[in-house]
Copies of this chain bind each other. A is one copy, B any other.
């Protein structure tokens, strides 16, 4: 067989040991919070039938789906006419399956397929990769993880309060202090279009102001004008761009702004109910900001919407979500409302990296390496290793009798905090030399003292 220079597909990544430790730190933090709040885990298959995926993400989404060729002689059911008809039509003959594009559609499919077995409200979380045939670029990958939690089958606004608290617990767990949870309500946005005299234009309005962060107020206004909003409309919109108001001030403003608008009052009511639940939680600084220009692109949101910004890093939102009315309608199950959230692990990874927030040592990494100097040291090395492992301290005995320098380089590269050396002198005295790889400090200790020392530093 010819020797090949191997590579991986564009837009995909290997995660080596050092990256996995950091990624797991993020995943485990999120997962622990989800579980503490009563969410249960779901995993769905990597491949879904194209009939499930197609048409759910718009035309562009359909283009970005990775399609899997049928197995075996996949051309056998095609004709030359099929081939001549081109890629799109030929596809239906040669591919029945595609790769998961997000976690929402598989979740909706699961709910529909298992609706008779599920006790609603159903609180599920799901942490799995998704695939999109986007053009790869900095920060945009063709394979990336999503970390979603949703509650479906209830309209209770307690769920919104829980989501706000989960966001707080996750970022507190990750030691990120300076973040803002922007929230808003789609009913408020609908009411704004009504109040300014542009009813029915909610979609255009949301699409335009969704770009505020990226293109600025002036260009948003331009886009609104192009979308048919009048000068009079726009004048009345102006107050919502005032980002300096507190939540209380915004509510005072909205109450007069929506004085005679029903849906607007419903939006205010929802916001106030959520805030009243939050009052009962012990965390007082909820990092909340009522941002009347927050719209979120997706059209299926119908109530609360959320987005989280890391204020010290130039990066897009690190978490987002909202309430929807109709998760499963496309699969024939109507009135399945719920609220969900998704953490952007790749961006959170970059934020923690840039702010240097990763813990220095990780319980999941190797804690102790015992150097190996041949058969004489093997048995005492194994004994010490097992005593440490019995205390759940990750330990290894270097497998070969190699030069000291090689073993120390290995320990250093692996980031091991402690190295134990057993030489002939040590065997004679029944002591072990313990080297702290961070401080460089070295001392000679009896086994029990060495074990206590490592255990206490652990």
Chain A residues at the B interface, C-beta cutoff of 8 Å: 1, 3-9, 12-17, 20-21, 24, 32, 35-38, 40-49, 51-52, 55, 63-64, 66-69, 71-76, 80, 83, 86-87, 90-91, 94-97, 99, 109-110, 112-114, 117, 119-121, 123-124, 129, 131, 133, 142-143, 151, 154-156, 158-159, 277, 279-282, 330-332, 364-366, 369, 378-379, 382-383, 386, 389-390, 392-397, 399-400, 409-410, 413-414
Contacts and interface: CB of A to CB of B under 8 A. Distances in A.
B90 A75 contact: yes
A394 B16 contact: no
Contact of A42 (B16, B37, B63): B16
A280 B376 CA distance: 12
B14 A43 contact: yes
Given A158-B397, A281-B382, A378-B277, A14 B40 contact: no
Given A48-B8, A51-B4, A121-B399, A24 B41 contact: yes
B80 A392 contact: no
A113 B6 contact: yes
B109 A6 contact: yes
Number of copies of chain A assembled together: 2
Given A42-B15, A68-B67, A49 B399 contact: no
Tell which of A72, A76, A96, A97 has the most Cβ of chain B within 10 Å.
A97
A71 B131 CA distance: 12
B280 A4 contact: no
Nearest to A121: B399
Chief secondary structure at chain A's binding surface: mixed
Nearest to A97: B9
Residue among A32, A40, A42, A399 with the highest chain B CB neighbour number at 10 A: A399
A306 to B, nearest CB: 17
Given A6-B109, A8-B49, A123-B396, A386 B282 contact: yes
Contacts of A12: 45-47
Contacts of A330: 1, 3-4
A222 B297 CA distance: 69
B42 A131 contact: no
A394 B41 CA distance: 13
Contacts of A86: 73, 75
B399 A364 contact: no
Contacts of A37: 389, 394, 396
19 contacts: A5-B331, A6-B49, A9-B47, A9-B96, A12-B45, A12-B47, A14-B110, A15-B42, A15-B44, A17-B40, A17-B41, A35-B394, A46-B99, A46-B131, A63-B72, A67-B68, A69-B94, A121-B400, A158-B378
